[in-house]
């Protein structure tokens, strides 16, 4: 493809180089080959502009970078927001794309919602995929990408690959990091959802307001102007989210007890699921959802909202809810202890997530709820005592252990969690902590192992010293339950 054609498509005016042949796109200079367009961005660890000469030496034909960057020997595509310009340019190269693409943002519930959306589409007969923390999930397989939102080149290449395989519907997770770094956009996004906002990632965003603003870029810039915003209406940040969507002139679909469009009329917890009554366009639908917890009902309803917003048939969608499969590591029943206590694994890694996971299990507990949890290293430190406080207040037994220590001292992380949960037990080794919880559980108790969900390893160390030690909460729970 010619650079000129790509630029025209992206609405970018070229000073020179229109005839240059483009063979690919890269944001890492080590991936540049002859004919590559290189995106050089100042990052949080290094400045990508430092690699411009190396990229040109490797054959880059054009460099997308800030106006002040020094570019000699290739076309300089100068932009105030080079990441955004790069996304637009690259989107013209990675084609075709699936015709129906939707995105989900929010602190908690993104992975669950994109996965439920994929399942509902699939039940309606579409070839559908999801992209997020669990990787790229297609009708045939699930492949991990390492990050919730992959880098822009991987993202667009995945989209084109999926379209070539015949996938027509894709739901992807838009993390706040991904949104603020323009890591997933450029293509048409027909609908975008907001699940909720609560404390997380303040190490990166600084304030809740900045964190919220990063997420709202999804409505302000990423979703199509004639697209739909699906908004969970029962959250403290729902009103500002609704206002942001309306400010752009988007069609709005509000979901939840306060949701005017897809209203949750009632929710009655049952033994292995819950009964929902939902009102959509004047008709009440009764759904036997085979998943427990208010939070799972919320994610399912947002997923249904996305399906309806993109032309899904209502009866088929509500029927599909009764056949949803659980999402890996989200309130997953891993094992039953020798005394008969169920052990659940959940990915709760924020104060709000812990509160939601505990609330989901509470109606099922006759004895005590025993919670094993911790916080990850090299992430928001301020959330740690808050996580401790939630568990101390709402669980019957709290055991603080290690999550992914990454580059931090695990004992120091535990101390910060314990500051909010002074009465909690401290057992550093995650396996030992799980074993202790299992040993303590009587017949009427429930064990919740929170924080790592589907993760298959424990991340220890940072940079060159980083190692991933194999660890799976579900497997360890089973091993401890049946020694």
Ligand X SMILES: CC(=O)N[C@H]1[C@@H](OP(=O)(O)OP(=O)(O)OC[C@H]2O[C@@H](n3ccc(=O)[nH]c3=O)[C@H](O)[C@@H]2O)O[C@H](CO)[C@@H](O)[C@@H]1O[C@H](C)C(=O)N[C@@H](C)C(=O)N[C@H](CCC(=O)O)C(=O)O
Ligand Y SMILES: N[C@H](CCC[C@H](N)C(=O)O)C(=O)O
> How big is the site for ligand X, counted in residues (CB under 6 A)?
19
Q: Which stretch binds Mg ion (CB under 5 A): 89-97, 125-133, 180-188, 241-249?
A: 125-133
Q: Per the annotation, does 383 bind a ligand?
A: no
Q: Which of 105, 148, 228, 416 binds ligand Y (CB under 6 A)?
A: 148
Interface residues with ligand ATP (CB under 6 A) are: 106, 108-112, 133, 148, 173, 175, 195-196, 295, 298-299, 330, 346-348, 352-353, 356-357, 453
Residues of this chain, 55-114, that bind Mg ion according to CB under 5 A: 110-111
Residues of this chain, 7-66, that bind ligand X according to CB under 6 A: 27-30, 41, 43-46, 48, 51
Q: Which stretch binds ligand X (CB under 6 A): 174-182, 231-239, 296-304, 319-327?
A: 174-182
- Output the smallest distance, CB 423 to ligand ATP, in A: 22
Q: Helix 208-217 crosses helix 238-248 at what angle (to 10 degrees)? A: 40
> How big is the site for Mg ion, counted in residues (CB under 5 A)?
4
Please choose, from the candidates 327, 375, 332, 351, the residue with its C-alpha nearest in 3D space to the C-alpha of residue 173: 327
> How big is the site for ligand Y, counted in residues (CB under 6 A)?
9
d(CA 275, CA 303): 17
d(CA 101, CA 162): 11
Q: Per the annotation, does 404 bind a ligand?
A: yes
d(CA 426, CA 429): 9
Residues of this chain, 343-372, that bind ligand Y according to CB under 6 A: 349
Q: Which stretch binds ligand Y (CB under 6 A): 234-242, 414-422, 438-446, 450-458?
A: 450-458
Residues of this chain, 93-112, that bind ligand Y according to CB under 6 A: none
Cα diameter, the chain: 74
Q: Which of 64, 404, 414, 480 binds ligand Y (CB under 6 A)?
A: 404
Please choose, from the candidates 72, 57, 62, 51, the residue with its C-alpha nearest in 3D space to the C-alpha of residue 16: 62
**Comparison of 227 and 329: residue with beta carbon closer to ligand Y:** 329
Which residues contact ligand Y (rule: CB under 6 A)?
A: 148, 349, 376, 379, 403-404, 451-452, 455
- Which stretches of the chain bind ligand X, using CB under 6 A? 27-30, 41, 43-46, 48, 51, 147-149, 151, 175, 177-178, 181
Binding site, annotated residues: 106-112, 148-149, 175, 181, 183, 379, 403-406, 451, 455
């Amino acid at each position: 493809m010619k650079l000129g054609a790509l630029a025209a498509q992206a609405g970018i005016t070229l000073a020179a180089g229109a005839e240059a042949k483009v063979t690919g796109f890269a944001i890492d200079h080590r991936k540049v080959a002859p004919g590559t367009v290189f995106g050089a961005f100042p990052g949080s660890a290094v400045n990508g502009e430092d690699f411009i000469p190396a990229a040109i030496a490797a054959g880059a034909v054009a460099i997308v970078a800030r106006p002040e960057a020094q570019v000699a020997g290739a076309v300089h595509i100068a932009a105030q927001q080079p990441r955004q310009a790069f996304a637009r340019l690259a989107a013209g190269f990675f084609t075709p794309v699936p015709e129906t693409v939707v995105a989900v943002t929010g602190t908690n519930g993104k992975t669950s919602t994109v996965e439920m959306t994929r399942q509902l589409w699939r039940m309606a007969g579409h070839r559908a995929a999801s992209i997020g923390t669990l990787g790229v999930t297609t009708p045939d397989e699930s492949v991990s990408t390492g990050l919730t939102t992959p880098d822009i080149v991987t993202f667009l290449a995945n989209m084109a690959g999926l379209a070539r395989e015949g996938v027509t519907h894709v739901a992807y997770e838009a993390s706040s990091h991904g949104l603020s770094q323009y890591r997933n956009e450029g293509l048409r996004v027909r609908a975008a959802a907001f699940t909720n906002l609560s404390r997380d990632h303040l190490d990166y965003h600084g304030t809740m307001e900045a964190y919220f603003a990063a997420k709202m870029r999804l409505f302000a810039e990423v979703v199509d102007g004639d697209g739909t915003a699906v908004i969970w209406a029962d959250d403290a940040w729902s009103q500002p989210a609704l206002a942001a969507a309306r400010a752009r002139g988007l069609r709005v679909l509000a979901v939840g007890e306060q949701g005017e469009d897809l209203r949750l009329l009632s929710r009655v917890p049952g033994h292995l699921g819950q009964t929902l009554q939902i009102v959509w366009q004047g008709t009440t639908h009764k759904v036997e959802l085979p998943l427990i917890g208010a939070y799972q009902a919320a994610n399912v309803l947002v997923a249904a909202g996305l399906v309806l917003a993109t032309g899904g048939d209502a009866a088929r969608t509500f029927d599909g809810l009764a056949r949803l499969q659980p999402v890996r590591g989200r309130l997953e029943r891993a094992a039953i202890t020798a005394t008969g206590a169920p052990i659940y694994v959940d990915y709760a890694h924020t104060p709000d997530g812990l509160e939601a996971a505990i609330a989901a299990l509470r109606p099922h507990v006759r004895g005590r709820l025993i919670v094993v949890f911790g916080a990850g290293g090299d992430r928001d430190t301020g959330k740690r005592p808050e996580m401790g406080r939630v568990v101390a207040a709402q669980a019957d037994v709290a055991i603080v252990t290690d999550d992914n220590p990454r580059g931090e001292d695990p004992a120091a992380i535990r101390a910060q969690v314990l500051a909010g949960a002074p009465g909690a037990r401290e057992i550093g080794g995650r396996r030992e902590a799980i074993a202790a919880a299992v040993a303590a559980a009587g017949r009427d108790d429930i064990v919740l192992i929170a924080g790592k969900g589907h993760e298959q390893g424990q991340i220890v160390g940072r940079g060159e010293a980083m190692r991933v030690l194999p660890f799976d909460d579900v497997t360890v729970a089973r091993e401890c339950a049946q020694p």
